[in-house]
C-alpha cells in the first residue's frame, strides 16, 4: 500500500508518458497521503541512470516506475535499485515478455517507437485539416504554407488529390482557375516546383460537368458544361501554367492514386513535365 508522502520516479528512454499514466492510474486507487510524480525522460546512458538512482536513494518511500527497452539499462536499474532497497516497477516488461512468447519474436529494443508512430499520425491529421481549411482557394494565405499547390479548372480532381496527399502527410492546397477571376498573387511568389498544373481533355471534362449538373438537378445545357466554355477555361489555364512555368499533369482517364504518384515523383525526384 502506498503510504504518506510517496515519490514515484518515472524513468524512460523516451517521453515516459506511458509509465506515468499507469503509475497515476494505480495511485488513484489509494486514499492515503500524497504522491509526487517526477518524470525523467530520455534516459539513454548508464551514467545518467546511475545519477538518478543515487538521487532516488536519498528519499524514503520512493518507487521507480520505468519503461526502458534497452536490456542493459533495465538490468542496471534493477541491480542498483535492489542494492538500495528501492522498489521498482517494469511497466512494459511483462507485456513485452508475453508478446515475445506468443509470437516467437524478440522486441526491437529501440526507444521511442510509439512516439514515432504518434508523430506520424499527428502529421497526417494536420495535413488533412490543412487540406480542408484551404480547399478550393478558400484562403490564399494557405498557398505560402503548403508543401504543394495544385491548380486547374473545375472538376480536375484537385480536392480528392489534396485529400489523398494529406494521408501521405503532405500539406496540399488547390486553386481553381477561372478566366473571370485573377489568380492569387501568392502563386507568383512560390519557388519553382511547388505548383503543379492539372489539365484534362475537353470532351471528358464536358461529360464530367454534364453529369455533375444532373446530380445537382440543373439543366445539362448550362454554360458551365458547354464545350465553348470549357475550351475557354482550358486555354486560360494553359496560358497561366506556362506563365508560372509549372509541371503539368493530364488527369484524363487517370485514377487519383496514379496522379498522386506522379505528383510525389515531381516533389521528391524533381520530375518535370508529363503530357
Three cell numbers at 38?
517526477
Q: CATH number, domain at 35?
A: 3.40.50
Residues 47 and 44: their CA atoms lie apart, in Å, by 9
Q: How far apart are CA 253 and CA 133, in angstroms?
A: 28
35 labeled part of a ligand binding site: no
Measured distance CA(35)–CA(207) in Å, rounded: 69
Residues 260 and 237 in one domain: yes
Tell me: pLDDT of 106 over 50: yes
Residue 1 lies in a domain: no
- The size of the chain, in residues, is 275
Domain co-membership, 125 together with 222: yes
Annotated binding residue 116: no
At 60-73, the pLDDT tens digits run: 889 999 988 888 99
One domain for residues 220 and 260? yes
> Does the residue 274 lie in any domain?
no
Do 174 and 182 contact (CB within 8 A), yes or no? no
**Boundary (domain end) residue, out of 92, 111, 130:** 111
Is the residue at 44 inside a domain? yes
Q: Is residue 75 annotated as involved in ligand binding?
A: no
Q: Is 242 annotated as a binding residue?
A: no
Q: Is the pLDDT of residue 32 over 80?
A: no
Q: Are residues 101 and 131 in the same domain?
A: no
Q: Is 154 annotated as a binding residue?
A: yes
Contact, 256 vs 264, CB < 8 A?
no
Q: Among residues of the chain, what percentage have pLDDT more than 70?
A: 89
Give yes or no: residues 127 and 153 share one domain.
yes
Within this chain, do residues 83 and 165 fall inside the same structural domain, yes or no?
Answer: no
Structural domain contains residue 85:
yes
Is 132 within any annotated ligand binding site? no
Report whether 152 belongs to an annotated binding site.
Answer: yes
pTM of the model: 0.59
Q: Is 252 annotated as a binding residue?
A: no
State mean pLDDT over 49-65: 93
What one-character DSSP code corresponds to residue 266?
A: H
Domain containing 121: what range? 115-269
Amino acid at each position: 500500500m502506498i503510504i504518506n508522502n510517496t515519490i514515484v520516479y518515472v524513468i524512460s528512454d523516451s517521453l515516459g508518458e506511458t509509465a506515468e499514466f499507469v503509475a497515476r492510474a494505480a495511485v488513484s486507487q489509494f486514499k492515503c497521503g500524497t504522491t509526487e510524480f517526477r518524470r525523467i525522460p530520455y534516459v539513454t546512458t548508464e551514467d545518467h541512470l546511475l545519477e538518478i538512482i543515487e538521487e532516488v536513494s536519498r528519499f524514503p518511500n520512493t518507487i521507480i516506475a520505468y519503461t526502458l527497452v534497452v536490456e542493459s539499462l533495465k538490468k542496471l536499474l534493477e541491480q542498483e535499485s535492489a542494492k538500495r532497497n528501492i522498489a521498482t516497477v517494469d511497466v512494459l516488461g511483462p507485456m513485452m515478455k508475453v508478446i515475445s512468447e506468443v509470437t516467437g519474436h524478440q522486441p526491437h529494443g529501440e526507444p521511442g517507437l510509439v512516439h514515432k508512430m504518434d508523430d506520424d499520425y499527428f502529421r497526417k491529421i494536420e495535413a488533412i485539416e490543412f487540406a480542408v481549411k484551404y480547399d478550393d482557394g478558400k484562403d490564399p494565405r494557405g498557398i505560402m504554407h503548403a508543401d504543394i499547390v495544385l491548380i486547374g479548372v473545375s472538376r480536375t480532381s484537385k480536392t480528392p488529390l489534396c485529400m489523398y496527399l494529406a494521408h501521405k502527410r503532405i500539406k496540399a492546397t488547390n486553386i481553381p482557375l477561372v478566366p473571370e477571376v485573377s489568380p492569387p498573387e501568392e502563386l507568383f511568389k512560390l519557388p519553382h516546383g511547388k505548383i503543379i498544373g492539372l489539365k484534362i481533355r475537353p470532351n471528358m471534362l464536358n461529360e464530367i460537368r454534364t453529369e455533375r449538373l444532373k446530380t445537382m438537378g440543373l439543366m445539362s445545357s448550362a454554360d458551365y458544361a458547354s464545350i465553348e466554355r470549357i475550351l475557354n477555361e482550358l486555354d486560360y489555364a494553359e496560358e497561366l501554367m506556362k506563365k508560372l512555368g509549372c509541371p503539368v499533369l493530364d488527369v484524363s482517364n487517370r485514377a487519383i492514386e496514379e496522379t498522386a504518384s506522379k505528383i510525389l515523383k515531381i516533389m521528391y525526384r524533381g520530375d518535370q513535365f508529363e503530357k
